[in-house]
Amino acid sequence: MDYFFRTTPDAGFTFNMHLVRLGLILFLFIVYKFRQKAWLLKTLLVASICLQGVLYWWYTLDHNILIMEGLPLYHCRIAGICLPLSFFLKREKARTFFADLALVGTLVAFAVPDPSNYAWPHVTNATYILNHYVLMACGLLVTVNYKKSLPVKDIAINCFVINLIIFIVDLTLNANYGYLTKVPIEFFAGFPAIIVFIAMTLLMILSLSLVEKLKTRLGTKK
């Protein structure tokens, strides 16, 4: 158990994202099969909060890691907390926004993975996989079962406000929450932080707007 929760980083290990992506597809097939079961979404939303709690507890074991990496300021972490809250508090617009963010965030996280420097098995890579599995499943179930449209204006305002808060924290702590100061892609290395912030915010608005457009075509919103 100590090994699973260790705080000393490892080196020279690989993260098999092909298996992780395959597992996500299979998991979503199962979730979709039982999509009309009300208990399933509620269970997954509670699981999302619990998984976030386990990860944050681990971050408290090292103050430096907590400040630089452990705050709930990555978009998937925000969605993992705010989607359950908006669902149980019955905030329809917020629920729709964070469901869209959950879908896009998971796709980006698995398309351009940036896992922690700990070899398997470890709490960070276990929660990295499980959190995103649960998060995308929640986004899928909300999209299918709770048909609600979200205007582009609302998407733009929400994205800008969230990213501005994250960006201010990043500049204050010299951190990179939300990848708003530096993107983990070599091609984009060296771009000024403000350019990265603007580009990432615009891409986020565009991505969530495309999700809404897709929902319209598929008839999953009203």
Q: In this structure, is residue 3 part of a structural domain?
A: no
Query: What is the domain extent for residue 38?
Result: 17-218
Question: Given a cut of 70, is residue 13 above it in pLDDT?
Answer: no
- 201 HSE (CA, 13 A, CB side): 19
User: Total domain count for the chain?
Assistant: 1
Q: What is the pLDDT of residue 113?
A: 83
- DSSP secondary structure string, 43-68? HHHHHHHHHHHHHHHHHTTSHHHIII
pLDDT of 29-49, one tens digit each? 999 999 999 999 999 999 999
Specify the pTM.
Answer: 0.92
Half-sphere exposure (CA, 13 Å, Cβ side) for 125? 22
On whether residue 84 sits in a domain, the answer given is yes
Q: What is the pLDDT of residue 152?
A: 95
Region for residue 71 given its phi and psi (left: phi exceeds 0; alpha: psi -120 to 50; beta: otherwise): beta
Can you tell me the mean pLDDT for 94-121?
91
- Per-residue pLDDT tens over the stretch 38-86: 999 999 999 999 999 999 999 999 888 899 999 999 999 999 999 999 9
Tell me the pLDDT band of 184, cut-offs 50, 70 and 90.
Answer: confident
In a domain, 12, yes or no: no
Q: What is the CA radius of gyration of the chain?
A: 17
Q: Are 207 and 155 in contact (CB under 8 A)?
A: no
- Residue 8 placed within a domain: no
Position 11 in a domain: no
Whether residue 5 is contained in a domain is answered as: no
Is residue 169 over pLDDT 80? yes
